[in-house]
Amino acid sequence: MTLFEQTLITMEHLLIQVNAPRWASRIREDLELWRSKGDASQHRVRYGGHSTYSDWVIHRQNGHDVSETQQAWIGRVFSQLQYLGQFLAEDPSDQRLERKHVNAIAGTRSVLGNAPAMEWSLETAERSCGEGVRTERCADCAYSETSRMEVETFMADDVVPGLLVSAIRRQDLIRLVDRVLAGRIKGVGDARRIVLEALRSENVDVTATWRPRDRCPACESSDMRVFRWDLAYGAGFQLLPWRYNHTAGWQETTG
């Protein structure tokens, strides 16, 4: 079975699990066309333009049956499957194309380690991941807060690409979806503790749910700014209020 077919089967399964039956049936149509006629063109064109697959986001507001934590994790799995489906539809039988895109996913930087083994040995102290943990920070008193959802999104962005590559190699994508939905990801509990601890040590409050802040809850200032914390590994995991730039090195982020 081609990776393209496995990707469509997994997308359909995921969409059924999160209660998105209409989206699931669109994917089923593409799958049947591929199986009966070897035709992937329908799947390919459905990524372009308005109200297409590119607009599909797993979200509670779309009526999907997921918790906030599941939304962060399965949402990341789904966007990765969209990426695979879109590119593999170019030529689903071309195994070089498969390898190219799997390698692209495998090349995604990870700080928290290479899940599912969650090995903590990292090659350099300079790697940083994704967009960092998004926080709101008061420009006047430096009060900072983020939400559990932001922490989960940060972790999922870091860990899911590695999980996906392992699952592709084991031809086990459906099981990955089930494990992610069940929250059964090896090492994630430890990773979560590390991230939360690092946030605590930098005096970043972690709220249960996200809410927009017009004013700083500590000093009432109206100058709240979005700020990102990168997790980096040096003498242990640290949060740094900087982003690593390969040409300029570490730079402060204020925007």
Query: With binding defined as CB under 5 A, does residue 143 bind Zn ion?
Result: yes
Strands (E), 85-178: 133-138, 144-147
Stretch that binds Zn ion, among 44-52, 143-151, 161-169, 192-200 (CB under 5 A): 143-151
Judged by CB under 5 A, the residue of 45, 57, 141, 226 near Zn ion is: 141
Is 110 in contact with 203 (CB distance < 8 Å)? no
Binding to Zn ion by CB under 5 A, coded x per residue (else -) over 191-220, reads: -------------------------x-xx-
Nearest approach, Cβ of 144 to Zn ion (angstroms)?
9
Query: With binding defined as CB under 5 A, does residue 67 bind Zn ion?
Result: no
Nearest to 166 by CA among 56, 80, 47, 49: 80
Query: With binding defined as CB under 5 A, does residue 174 bind Zn ion?
Result: no
In the bound state with Zn ion, the residue whose beta carbon lies nearer, of 129 and 216, is 216
Q: Report DSSP state, residue 51.
A: S
One-letter identity of residue 223: D
Task: Report strand pairing: 144-147 vs 204-207.
Answer: parallel
In the bound state with Zn ion, the residue whose beta carbon lies nearer, of 125 and 142, is 142
Q: Report DSSP state, residue 65.
A: -
In the bound state with Zn ion, the residue whose beta carbon lies nearer, of 115 and 138, is 138
Is 161 in contact with 167 (CB distance < 8 Å)? no
Tokens of 72: 């962060």
Query: With binding defined as CB under 5 A, does residue 221 bind Zn ion?
Result: yes
Which residues are near Zn ion by CB under 5 A?
138, 140-141, 143, 216, 218-219, 221
